[in-house]
Every structure is written in structure tokens, then in C-alpha cells.
Amino acid sequence: MTDAPIRLLLADDHPVVRAGLRAVLETEPGITVVAEAATAEEAVLRAAAGDVDVVLMDLRFGEGMTGAQATAAITARPGAPRVVIVTTYDTDADTLAAIEAGATGYLLKDAPPEELAAAVRTAAAGRATLAPAVADRLMNRMRSPATALTRRETEVLALVADGLSNQAIGRRLHLTEGTVKSHLARVYAKLGVDSRTAAVATATDLGLIRR
């Protein structure tokens, strides 16, 4: 057993958020912030330096790589640090993308300081931490798989919510228009709706997509 501190990398495009996280976590015994990153690309490069144990990663950066993409790039390397997502987003689409990318934890930015510190320690020990609201939704998804949308179905529906036509969605996702229609048909069946508007409204209410 070592008494070495847990070394943190803070990755968020808002300086105020990074400063807040640093202020909270540096008062915690056994935790030290060794670096900050303002972009997801910067976080990937910095995490590869070998002196980081846990990355606190935002999901949304202004441009370029997303937090989920950065998480996948970081965790793909041997001996990679653990990644804990700290974000304002808690939809299924965001949560599942991050967990599939290899995140060890998922917290919301309104989490109390002690919960944040506990998540860092839990991640450093190789165990998972999920915000209660996120854990509840994932459990509900497992209990009701019939209404669970696949990642592709979620992507299609999110673009419908943005007002794109089937043809435009197909171009964006590199799918044929027929494939887009098939995905939407499955979405309608799972959500028990019969229109694009109803599908978007129901999925938003269920927290499956963000509006």
C-alpha cells in the first residue's frame, strides 16, 4: 500500500469550472491536481504523459473532440488513468456514450464536494461511481430493455429533434434514407408513438435525448 497522492487531470473548457474543481479537490487529503486541459484533444495528450491517475472529464467542449471520444482515446492505452465524467448532462445518450467509451464514473456538476472527492478515490481504486440519477436511469433501462433505444436510434432521433429530414439525417450519419426510416420505425414501436413529433416529445420526457 502506498501513501502517494491521487494525481488528477481536470479537463473542462470553462476556466471557472476548472478553478472550482481545483479549489474543492486540492483541500482533500491525498488528492493533488497535476494538470488542467481546456480541450478534449489536450486532455488526451496530457493523460498519456504517465503522471495522471484520474481524469475529471467534461462531456462537451466548444469544438473538436467530445468528452466521450477523449475518454475512449485515453482508456484505450495500456495503463491508462481512470476517467470520471463530470457534466451537466444526464440523458441516456450522454451517459451510455461515456460508459461505453470506458468512463469509470459519471457525476453531475451539482454533486456535493464530498461526493466528488469520494468518486475520485473510488475511481483511483478501480471501482465505478455513478450519480444517483444516472444509476437509477441505467437500472430502469436494464429492467425495461424493450423501450431502450440503441445508440444509432438515439442519434437519429436527436437529429429529428433538430429538425433534419430523413435525407439530411442519412447524409449526416452516412446512412441510406431507407435505413433512417427503419431506425425511426423501431423508435416508434419502442416508444409507442406514431409520429416524429410524438417520438421527440416522449424521448425528451424519458430523458433519452436532450432538447
Dump pLDDT digits (tens) for 119-157.
999 999 988 888 776 776 666 665 555 567 888 898 899
On whether both 87 and 130 belong to a single domain, the answer is: yes
Query: Which residue(s) pair with 85 in the sheet?
Result: 57, 106
- pLDDT at residue number 1: 42
On whether both 90 and 19 belong to a single domain, the answer is: yes
On whether both 189 and 151 belong to a single domain, the answer is: yes
Contacts of residue 191, defined as CB under 8 A and 6 or more positions apart, other chains included, come to 147, 198, 199, 202, 203, 206
**Of 125, 141, 157, which residue constitutes the final position of a domain?**
141
Find out whether 39 and 13 touch, Cβ atoms under 8 Å. yes
Q: What is the CATH number of the domain that holds 38?
A: 3.40.50.2300
Confidence (pTM): 0.66
Contacts of residue 112, defined as CB under 8 A and 6 or more positions apart, other chains included, come to none
On whether both 55 and 10 belong to a single domain, the answer is: yes
Contacts of residues 25-28 at CB distance under 8 Å and 24 or more positions apart, as own/partner, are 25/116, 25/117, 25/120, 28/117, 28/120
| Distance separating the N- and C-terminal Cα atoms of the chain | 47
Residue 75: pLDDT band (50, 70, 90) is: very high
Residue 31: pLDDT band (50, 70, 90) is: very high
On whether both 82 and 157 belong to a single domain, the answer is: no
On whether both 168 and 126 belong to a single domain, the answer is: no
On whether both 171 and 125 belong to a single domain, the answer is: no
Residue 38 inside a domain? The answer is yes
Q: Is the pLDDT of residue 57 over 80?
A: yes
How many domains does one find in the chain? 2
- pLDDT at residue number 63: 80
